Amino acid sequence: MAAAPGGSAPPAGPGPRLGFSTADSGVGMSGLNPGPAVPMKDHDAIKLFVGQIPRGLDEQDLKPLFEEFGRIYELTVLKDRLTGLHKGCAFLTYCARDSALKAQSALHEQKTLPGMNRPIQVKPAASEGRGEDRKLFVGMLGKQQGEEDVRRLFQPFGHIEECTVLRSPDGTSKGCAFVKFGSQGEAQAAIQSLHGSRTMAGASSSLVVKLADTDRERALRRMQQMAGQLGAFHPAPLPLGACGAYTTAILQHQAALLAAAQGPGLGPVAAVAAQMQHVAAFSLVAAPLLPAAASSPPGGGPGSLPGLPAPIGVNGFGPLTPQTNGQPGSDTLYNNGLSPYPAAYPSAYAPVSTAFPQQSSALPQQQREGPEGCNLFIYHLPQEFGDAELIQTFLPFGAVVSAKVFVDRATNQSKCFGFVSFDNPTSAQTAIQAMNGFQIGMKRLKVQLKRPKDANRPY
DNA sequence: TCGTATT
């Protein structure tokens, strides 16, 4: 019964909509009549992704905003499948393709919903095929073929929105082009008929007609190229320098942790030991660089390291012989990412969660904000830092509620910034003191309080 | 360079 309230206007039914197919259908009467109980959608309708939605808004709240642009076929707020938590985004399909286009141009990056820092996102969902399903890459053209020739070739298949021959700086054709059709069907027809169908004058092989790369594919391709280049360089001396820098950072990191913890407890060492998982391989190679690194205090950052015990430096680079407590079996420190903290730290640094020492590790980590003053913005993170490393880095300063490194969706590469939230402001301040300015390679971490939500905004 | 979320 939760579905479609019969009869009268008020749809008030707070029914557990599974996506709230906006069967708004104006008139109440649900299924029985042959009427349009469920609105039809165009065959070429576009499913839109809507991002930057305040977590407090559900489908009912959003509906009015989007209905301005046409009848909604379906609107679904994304929720975490386990927790049911609002993920801050939604899928939206209009009955008419045109409505989607209008909504996108009117709303995308144009309007910021209450409580959000950034403007709403309204764009074709990633699942919408390739997003650029109307755009073709054409290869194996003759060098002498220009836009007009290419147009003539593709004209029979539909409306050409765009036609570009790729050229070198000197103007000569690269023998390929992009052709964008008005619809996916037209593009597909062209592929069917033209791909491999003939060999153009001066081309070495038959005509290539395929969908153009998506952004993601382009990004991946670039990444592969870069990886290839790195591979080629690998035997060269360059990497050692890089390792040295990174090693330096880790060493300084140790110092920072030590200083912050204000004590020789095994906590910091344990945390660093965990870090070492990631650099053990480098460490061996870079070992000779260590003493220098150890003797130079991290400028601007955590300040001096009064008594950085020599054993620590040495210890760090004998990855399998941590000296934390002299126990031979202490390599267990390496395998339980988050656990060392509660037991090992002085109470001042182990605020709350001591009662459940081992539990923090497995939580789904839905990103959350802590209270005001507890949320840090961190910039200049090492490229290789992920959420886990971020947690490790800040765990020594208190209970980390969440840690998130931003990642480029297309490449999966870190954007080198992220957030860490503690459950109390003191931990956040301690972390800032210890880690802001902390040098890694040529860069220094920037660690500061996250901007409050309403900053940057008139009212 | 300020919470990124794609069923």
A55 touches strand B (CB under 7 A): no
- Pairwise pLDDT comparison (A318 vs A259), residue with the higher score: A259
pLDDT tens digit sequence for A148-158: 999 999 999 99
Q: The tokens of A441 are what? A: 């390679």
A402 touches strand B (CB under 7 A): yes
Global pTM reads 0.62
The whole-number Å distance from A53's CA to B5's C1' is: 9
Most confident of A203-207, A252-256, A278-282: A203-207
- Which nucleotide's C1' sits nearest to the alpha carbon of A76? B7
pLDDT tens digit sequence for A290-339: 222 333 333 333 333 322 222 222 222 222 222 223 233 222 222 333 33
Q: Is the pLDDT of residue A453 over 50?
A: yes
DSSP string across A311-360? HHHHHHTSTT---SS--GGGGGGGT-TTTHHHHHS-GGG--SGGGSTTGG
Q: Is the pLDDT of residue A3 over 70?
A: no
**Residue appearing with tokens 């998506």:** A214
The whole-number Å distance from A267's CA to B6's C1' is: 40
Counting beta carbons within 10 angstroms of the beta carbon of residue A326, is it exposed (0 to 12), middle (13 to 18) or buried (19 or more)?
exposed
Question: How much is the pLDDT for A261?
Answer: 44
Per-residue pLDDT, averaged over A265-284, amounts to 36
8-state DSSP, A247? H
> Residue A79: pLDDT band by 50, 70, 90 thresholds?
very high
Q: Which of A98-107, A328-337, A428-437 has the lowest mean pLDDT?
A: A328-337
A418 touches strand B (CB under 7 A): no
pLDDT tens digit sequence for A21-63: 443 433 333 333 444 567 799 988 999 999 999 999 999 999 9
> Residue A213: pLDDT band by 50, 70, 90 thresholds?
confident
Residues 79-98 of chain A in contact with strand B via CB under 7 angstroms: 81, 87-89, 91
- Pairwise pLDDT comparison (A320 vs A282), residue with the higher score: A282
Question: How much is the pLDDT for A132?
Answer: 66
> What spatial distance separates the first Cα and last Cα of chain A, rounded to whole Å?
43
Q: The tokens of A101 are what? A: 């286009």
